[in-house]
Amino acid sequence: MKIGVIGLGAMGAGIAGNLLAAGHDVTVWNRSRGPVDALVAKGAQAAAAAADALQGDVLVSMLASDEAMRAVGLDGPLLDRAARGLVHCNMATVSIALAQELSEAHARRGLGYVSAPVFGRPNVAEAGQLLIVAAGADDALARLAPVFAAAGRRTEIVGAEPHKANLFKIAGNFMIVSVVETLGEAFALLRKGGVDHAQFQEVMAATLFAAPIYQGYGKLIVDEAFEPPGFTLRLGLKDVNLARSANAALGGYLPLGDLMARHLEEAIAAGLGEKDLTAATALIAKKAGV
């Protein structure tokens, strides 16, 4: 299959690498040249311009935010230069509003559009073991089956309307940030009382909270392994705010979202924005006096 990939950060590069390993014809484009050259060395073709990545069967995009999507032109201008019948698989975490806008923009041009955001950090993307959450028309999803097979260990279809996959992912990331907040506060409480928080983490992660999110993130916090970031604190705030925006549009109730946003904003003001999301716990510990 002829596949274009736009956005070669740690996640996008891992996905593109696995598409190459699966034998696909991959054309890559990125705003900075380094990741492009690394993939060209593995057999990819370099796009001279972003539009060159839209000339195949499928476009995969993995950009950091709504603003990055618009800056590249994937909300409209770039689509005018796409090959007929192209299916765009957007694997990034974007707002519900943008997902709906993208669906309409693609439909007007006769292009397929699927939201397929992923759960997993860069090492998981590189290993091709992502959890993919996808929504879109049946024919577009069928076209993307080889992409999903190369990039993930499981693909969960959550509906025909693409934005529903984004809501699914936003809710999941909201839970991840809440786990970091919970662990940070619990560890600070234990340290304040002279109890070994590393021992606590080991016991809890092996028994009552025997799940990857508690095991992996808990160890990062105990080890204070905040660099290099697998997922930056700044992006964590972005995703919490996406949840808050979706909640406001739907008329829901999300008080924890306001609390976490405030704490992450404080952490960014303290200079932790480009460290791993788990670095938010360093500020919690400092405020607790430990």
pLDDT for 197-246, tens place per residue?
999 999 999 999 999 999 999 999 999 999 999 999 999 999 999 999 99
What is the model's pLDDT at position 208?
98
pLDDT at 59: 98
Query: Residue 254: its pLDDT value, please?
Result: 97
**pLDDT tens by residue, 242-288:** 999 999 999 999 999 999 999 999 999 999 999 999 999 999 999 99
Q: So what's the pLDDT on residue 144?
A: 98
Note the pLDDT of residue 36.
98
HSE value, Cβ hemisphere, 13 Å, CA-based, for 221: 33
Prediction pTM value:
0.95
Residue 182: predicted pLDDT: 98
Closest alpha carbon to 119 in 247, 239, 242:
239
The predicted-structure confidence for 60-116, as pLDDT tens digits, reads as follows 999 999 999 999 999 999 999 999 999 999 999 999 999 999 999 999 999 999 999
- C-alpha 63/C-alpha 138 separation (Å) is 24
Distance of CA 168 to the CA centre of its chain: 12
**Residue 4 near residue 58, CB atoms below 8 Å:** yes
- The arithmetic mean of pLDDT across residues 25-50, rounded, is 97
Task: Report the pLDDT value the prediction gives residue 114, as an integer from 0 to 100.
Answer: 98
Mean pLDDT for the stretch of residues 12-27: 98
**What are the angstrom distances between the C-alpha of 249 and each of 111, 199, 212, 244, 245?**
27, 42, 31, 9, 6
Which of 2, 42, 164, 169 is catalytic? The answer is: 169
Beta bridge partners of 89: 60, 114
Looking at every residue in the chain, the average pLDDT score rounds to: 97
DSSP tag of 157: E
- One-letter amino acid for residue 167 of the chain: L
Percent of the chain surpassing pLDDT 90: 100
Position 69 scores a pLDDT of 97
- Using pLDDT thresholds of 50, 70 and 90, give the confidence band for residue 147: very high
**Residue 164: active-site member:** no
Percent of the chain with pLDDT over 70: 100
